[in-house]
Amino acid sequence: MKDIVYLNGQILPSSEAKLGVNDRGFIFGDGVYEVIATYEGQPFEMKRHMDRLRYSLGEINIKGVDVDELGEKALELAAANDLQAAPMGLVYMQITRGCAPRTHAFPVGKVAPTVYMYAAPVNAKWDHKVGAAAITLSDTRWSRCDIKTVSLLANCMANQAAHDAGALEAIFIRDGMALEGTHTSMFVVVDGEVRTAPKTNYILPSITRELVLEICAEGGIPARETHIPEAVLHSADEIFLAGTTTEVLGIVKLDGKPVGDGKPGEMTTRLRQLYSERRLAVV
């Protein structure tokens, strides 16, 4: 596998890429990121991802990034890493506030952002036909989860707790309501209706979540955004996760107990098929 990256205007081998030790992304986690899926090298829903990147940059006031040009470079990077030969791949983009002497306040004067990207094939660690397990955890993250920031320590700790428990993902609970996973959106199916938490500052405005809701609307599937009490999560007929590389994945065990009959449910399977048909259109 090739290991070519993009750093501050250059596409080069990762072994030649150098970052300053005073980069605020390294010191403070002061930056944002985006992940775009590719299928045989073709990006999926790239415009929406780039629009979300613009939003994240604006919310933390990082300026001086040409997002349109970055999108073009992302395509070049995907080709440089032969992603056209991969059934599924990803392009990871990260933008930090750049290098400056350490101080909590934003640097005074002009500081160039650090822009980094890598591209790689995706090898799923799950079987969509089998489904996966999840646990629930109290949400200890900050209150601006709508920003796709690189400051992900709480997410990492929760995901590690899931792995330690033999599960794939952790679902965050805040004030008694189920919100989302550490790196996925979360849906439940109750009496034939698809439900997901409302879009607030406590969840990421997930592109895949948006697509699932659109697919439901197009297919005449009842769906709505609504608060999901933890009790509803535990009693749901089906639970599934959605994400850029996760796509649509059924949760068949929650906190050690089966969800439904312990297999991906009928609605989950249907939505995964409809999602697959939509993304296959880009190939």
- Respond yes or no: is residue 263 known to be catalytic: no
Structure tokens at 173: 């609970």
Nearest to 73 by CA among 11, 123, 124, 122: 11
Distance CA 228, CA 258 (A): 19
The contacts found for 216-219 with CB under 8 angstroms, 24 or more apart, are 216/271, 219/274
The number of residues making up the chain comes to 283
List, in order, residues 6 or more apart from 248 with CB less than 8 Å away: 128, 208, 212, 240, 241, 242, 268, 271, 272, 275
- The one catalytic residue in 18, 47, 110, 148 is 148
8 A C-beta contact, residue 114 and residue 96: yes
Residue 149: CA count within 13 A, CB half-sphere? 27
d(CA 249, CA 131) in angstroms, rounded, equals 6
Catalytic positions: 148
